[in-house]
Amino acid sequence: METFADKRQRMVEEQIAARGVVDRTVLDAMLAVPRQMFVPPSAAEFAYEDTPLPIEEGQTISRPYVVALMADALKLTRRDRVLEIGAGSGYAAAVLSRIAAEVYAIERHAALAELASGRMKDLGFDNVHVVHGDGTLGWPEHAPYDAILVSAGGPSVPDALRAQLAIGGRLVIPVGATPRAQELVRVTRLGQNEYRQEDLGAVQFVPLIGEQGWIVHARGPDTASAALPQEQTSPAGLAPWQLP
Q: Which portions of the chain are predicted below pLDDT 70? A: 216-244
Separation in Å, CA 165 to CA 71, 74, 76: 16, 12, 14
How do beta strands 145-150 and 165-178 pair? Answer: parallel
CATH of the domain at 192: 3.40.50.150
Q: Which of 208, 126, 108 is nearest to 117 (CA)?
A: 126
Asked if residue 13 belongs to a domain, the reply is: no
Supply the range of the domain harboring residue 102. Answer: 64-241
Alpha helices in the chain (DSSP H): 4-11, 24-32, 64-74, 91-97, 110-123, 159-163
Asked if residue 194 belongs to a domain, the reply is: yes
What percent of the chain has a predicted confidence (pLDDT) above 70? 88
Asked if residue 110 belongs to a domain, the reply is: yes
pLDDT at 159: 97
Q: Which of 124, 117, 72, 123 is nearest to 99 (CA)?
A: 72
pLDDT at 101: 98
pLDDT at 35: 98
**Residues with active-site annotation:** 62
Identify any residues that bridge with 17 across adjacent strands, giving them in sequence order.
Answer: none
What is the Cα–Cα distance from 178 to 3, expressed in whole angstroms?
40
CA gyration radius for the chain?
17
Sign of the dihedral through C-alpha 83, 85, 88, 92: negative
Asked if residue 139 belongs to a domain, the reply is: yes
pLDDT tens digit sequence for 111-123: 999 999 999 999 9
What is the Cα–Cα distance from 95 to 61, expressed in whole angstroms?
13
Map residue 73 onto helix, strand or coil. helix
Asked if residue 85 belongs to a domain, the reply is: yes
Quickly count: other Cβ atoms within 10 Å of residue 195's Cβ. 13
Asked if residue 171 belongs to a domain, the reply is: yes
Residue 213 · residue 136 · CB < 8 Å:
yes
Asked if residue 127 belongs to a domain, the reply is: yes
pLDDT at 232: 29
pLDDT at 231: 26
Largest distance between two CA atoms of the chain = 57
pLDDT at 216: 66
Total tally of structural domains belonging to the chain: 1
Identify any residues that bridge with 186 across adjacent strands, giving them in sequence order.
Answer: 172, 198
Residue 207 · residue 152 · CB < 8 Å:
yes
